[in-house]
Structure 1
């Protein structure tokens, strides 16, 4: 078994690209192509269907990929165990833009310093990511998870809060109850579009759900926070996304006598049991950092 060939085939199949795999593995595209061709010749079967637009695993290639990745993961774990924690290679981490920039990335420099031979590749975006196609080893997911056979781990939770700019409140007044939100302008992003975004609980008993019709919609949370801070309206947003704006007074928290459903943060492993050792080590580190001190909103 040529382990190098297996690793090259695995990355080509996951990235659907010889050039992408070559860049990641620091080899030439011709080396990647030759390694896969030699593996196919040895097995006597076509593993990849090659077209001018894409490289896609054949049925035999997909089955072979699923089996060898378990072996590669075991080899990776064995190698890392004897290196006494010295992680190497490339780790691809997906995360949403706002939470990533504001709360996750500031917590990972120590991890990078501890493992100088490990290259971190961070893929950021608030829209849907095809984690397998983009060869993401682990993704940070905010909110509900899609139904999937992939493995997930709950890392922490943080509050969802209702906020507005002082300038908006001066013009339109402070809502005194959730029901009054129906009379206000609403700016909405991904955090405010889920079913629990406008559900309120008071004294642990009474519950009130408000259907707040947005007057402005944003595709990411950064846009939502910017709009709310500019006085466009009221937003239901995660505390992670607006902590600095609350601290400097650009946003004010509303309806503090009510609680809202907290937001969950998961680590999402697209390859399930085949997740690389480095990905699990990164998540262990991040989970400890996120829970060192639980950040709560100010009144």
Structure 2
């Protein structure tokens, strides 16, 4: 094990299941990557990867080696960072988040973060479906809504207000609902979190109403659901962040504004748990400051 870069390459091949994809990430030819891993296996005296025409997967020994070496590499990077005289963050930081949240909240504010850390490259990975953050080597992911079971570490950043919205033209044609139950008579647009059926729970004056709804239109992207609503296709539920511009411009209006919906939690998720990189922690601190300045956001206690 003469070269730390060989260990890092092995981690990426194992996580991506592909020599070619890992080679591209590391700026190598596929033949170079294959030779480096073969030399590593020879040094260790163990076969780490099972290679077939369809996939590259760790062997039992390779999976054990991966589980042990990956957090060590992260700690090594942290150790190198801690002794740098300038104290600057450097390298590549991968952050994953829903597309609408990235486009509406993070990217417009990101200049402040990158200006403070000019030697750090930030790769923003926008995806409305739940990402495989370990496979994609995401350092920190932002998740909105209830968290699925996960093995990493999470941190609650804030909660965000939810709203029900529709286009004025749609409401003029179909009539505005006056109670939550009236929604069953309307066209409903379901966003990426919606299944074939869903329920919205409303509260007012201590009274709760849970309305089971059947979406007429399903969109796997939050921005797409907002576009569908502005196009008079129906009524949708989304975060205030996702439709703030459309509300301000009058393209959308609030529906049932006197009723309250439970806010959504916003979490940072660290796939590597306590071995999280310093750059990821700095990004989360920046994001907390930004979220607390935005309307419709409530700081975590």
Give your verdict on TM over 0.5.
yes
1:153 aligns with 2:172: no
More deviation, 226-235/114-123: 114-123
| CA pair 19-255 structure 1, distance change in 2 beyond 3 A | same
Q: How does 1:195-214 map to 2 (within 5 A)?
A: 198-203=200-205, 205-214=206-215
Give the CA deviation at 1:194: 10
User: Partner of 1:82 in structure 2?
Assistant: 83
Distance 2:115 2:18 in 1: 31
Please list the CA deviations of residues 179-233 of structure 1 after superposition, one character each: whole Å capped at 9, or x if unmatched: 2112222122125559986101113x21111112222222221221111111111
User: Partner of 2:118 in structure 1?
Assistant: 116
Unpaired stretches in structure 2, ≥5 consecutive residues? none
**8 Å contact kept, 1:191–1:238:** no
Please list the CA deviations of residues 82-123 of structure 1 after superposition, one character each: whole Å capped at 9, or x if unmatched: 234422222222211112111122122222222233222222
| CA pair 288-195 structure 1, distance change in 2 beyond 3 A | farther
User: Partner of 2:22 in structure 1?
Assistant: 21
More deviation, 243-252/182-191: 182-191
User: Partner of 1:251 in structure 2?
Assistant: 252
Give the CA deviation at 1:281: 2.1
User: Partner of 1:170 in structure 2?
Assistant: 172
RMSD over aligned Cα atoms? 2.3
User: Partner of 1:5 in structure 2?
Assistant: 6
| CA pair 291-193 structure 1, distance change in 2 beyond 3 A | farther
Give the CA deviation at 1:34: 2.8
**8 Å contact kept, 2:23–2:33:** yes
**8 Å contact kept, 2:189–2:229:** yes
Distance 2:147 2:16 in 1: 23
Q: How does 1:1-299 map to 2 (within 5 A)?
A: 1-2=1-2, 3-83=4-84, 84-191=86-193, 198-203=200-205, 205-295=206-296
Distance 2:93 2:196 in 1: 31
**8 Å contact kept, 1:197–1:236:** no
Distance 2:196 2:106 in 1: 22
Give the CA deviation at 1:46: 0.8
Give the CA deviation at 1:250: 0.3
3-state secondary structure, aligned to 2:213: coil
Distance 2:285 2:275 in 1: 17
| CA pair 111-30 structure 1, distance change in 2 beyond 3 A | farther
Aligned length, in residue pairs = 296
More deviation, 147-156/190-199: 190-199
**8 Å contact kept, 1:163–1:251:** yes
Give the CA deviation at 1:158: 0.8
